[in-house]
Amino acid sequence: MDHIFAVFAMAVPIVAIVGGISVAIVRLITQARLEELSRRERIAAIERGADPTKLPPLSASGQDVYAYQDSRLRRAHGLLIGGLILISVGVGLAVFIAVVEPDKNVWVIGLLPLSVGAALLACSRIIWPEGK
């Protein structure tokens, strides 16, 4: 069992760092692609005879692509995603530890992220704007 905890102790920071870098790279690539498509659409409209002054301006950064009109909806989406991830981590951790150590009740460790995930889902439901 000590070997498993040692592997987890090394894997958690490695996965966090690699995951964070991967998310940043994917976001940059996505923003660049969206800006490129926006520019192509603008050029195509100008070629078809649209007045360039009446076209919407190009966004300076790709961040407004990800922005929602309602900040409450954005916050609720973030809580929903975080809650689902934590519930999945809690269930997975509890099942994994229950399989590794079936004679002990160590699987209860998985209840902590599971309960935090459930709380985030409840907060998401409370914050969710009416009618959306």
- pLDDT tens profile 53-72: 888 777 655 455 445 456 77
Same domain, 52 and 76: no
Which pLDDT does position 105 carry in this prediction? 83
Which pLDDT does position 132 carry in this prediction? 61
Distances (CA, A) of 67 to 9, 62, 63, 130: 36, 9, 7, 19
Same domain, 126 and 100: yes
Same domain, 84 and 44: no
Q: What is the extent of the structural domain holding 61?
A: 1-67
Reported as a single tens digit per residue, the pLDDT across 61-104 is 545 544 545 677 788 888 889 889 989 998 998 888 888 888 88
Which H or E run includes 44?
helix 2-47
Written as six digits, the tokens of 132 are 């959306």
Same domain, 32 and 63: yes
Q: Report residue 51 CA to chain centroid gap.
A: 39
Report whether 48 contacts 78 (CB < 8 A): no
Helix pair angle (71-100, 111-127), 10° resolution: 160
Owner of token pair 């870098």: 21
Nearest to 22 by CA among 33, 11, 30, 32: 30
Question: Which tops the pLDDT comparison, 64 or 1?
Answer: 1
| Confidence grade of residue 29 (pLDDT, cut at 50, 70, 90) | very high
Same domain, 20 and 60: yes
